[in-house]
Amino acid sequence: MPVNSSLTTAFYAAPQFPDDAQRLFEAGCRAVGLGEAGPPSPLPANRGFASALVLAREWGMSDLEAELVAAIEASYEPTWDTERAEFTWGMGLGEPHPRGQYNAYLATAEAAGPGRWTALSAAPIESCPQIVGVDFPSMALSRAEWVGDALHLSLAPMVENPRALTEFRLVGAEPRLWFITGIDNAMMDTRGADVVFRVPMVSADMVLMPGIY
């Protein structure tokens, strides 16, 4: 197999054999000019550059990450279809439908970060009270994370409209009142064991702090 295929092999090997994966990865990078003469322009349509970006972010290789981001932005046609709420890459192929596998790797790179790919293989996500019933894709959460007793939510509506409300629930937490900070005009209510939140359709970093029972 050509050595540049190791860019994808290293992606699969990284969580279990990081040292060997890094050697493979570096050989693959050299084979396609990354970090040296520069990658071909435009980039050929394949998985390798996207999986390389995952690993550059996984291993905190910021220079390589910047090189890959610039090349991918220039060659792979990142495109928002706001009517369908879809973000895809055309890859320069001139095809009516985005390629599934290539887009899958590029989407993985968008979600990648230091140690994340390894962590996914290491242990299940820790069980915690969950937000459910978000009206996706009209509303999404770019952060939903417990920090101590506080739940941090970053609201990311597709279209902002402060006069429109959307609703979601918190399940699995002890029934109680919650203090809401970071957003105006948000309301909460209890429905059985669940807590229901109504918030305006705005981008905001809201924090739920436990209040009285």
Q: Does the footprint of other proteins cover residue 2 (CB under 8 A)?
A: yes
Identify the CA nearest to 173 among candidates 153, 146, 136, 207: 146
Residue 199: strand pairing partners: 166
Q: Does the footprint of other proteins cover residue 158 (CB under 8 A)?
A: no
Q: Does the footprint of other proteins cover residue 141 (CB under 8 A)?
A: yes
Identify the CA nearest to 26 among candidates 16, 15, 36, 12: 36
Strand 194-201 to 161-171 pairing:
antiparallel
Strand 161-171 to 78-81 pairing:
unpaired
Task: Point out which span in 28-36, 76-84, 136-144, 178-186 binds other proteins (CB under 8 A).
Answer: 136-144
Question: Cβ of residue 11: shortest distance to other proteins, in angstroms?
Answer: 9
Q: Does the footprint of other proteins cover residue 145 (CB under 8 A)?
A: yes
Question: Cβ of residue 112: shortest distance to other proteins, in angstroms?
Answer: 6
Q: Does the footprint of other proteins cover residue 196 (CB under 8 A)?
A: no
Reported as type and span, the H/E element at residue 168 is: strand 161-171
Q: What are phi and psi of 71, to 5 degrees?
A: -70, -40
Q: Does the footprint of other proteins cover residue 193 (CB under 8 A)?
A: no
Query: Please, which of residues 93-112 interact with other proteins by CB under 8 A?
Result: 100-101, 104-105, 107-108, 110-112
Name the residue nearer to other proteins (CB basis): 29 or 47: 47
* CA 65 – CA 73 distance, rounded (Å): 12
Q: Does the footprint of other proteins cover residue 37 (CB under 8 A)?
A: no
Name the residue nearer to other proteins (CB basis): 123 or 212: 123
Identify the CA nearest to 89 among candidates 69, 62, 118, 65: 69
Residues that bind other proteins (CB under 8 A): 1-2, 54, 100-101, 104-105, 107-108, 110-113, 116-117, 119-121, 123-134, 136, 141-146, 151, 153
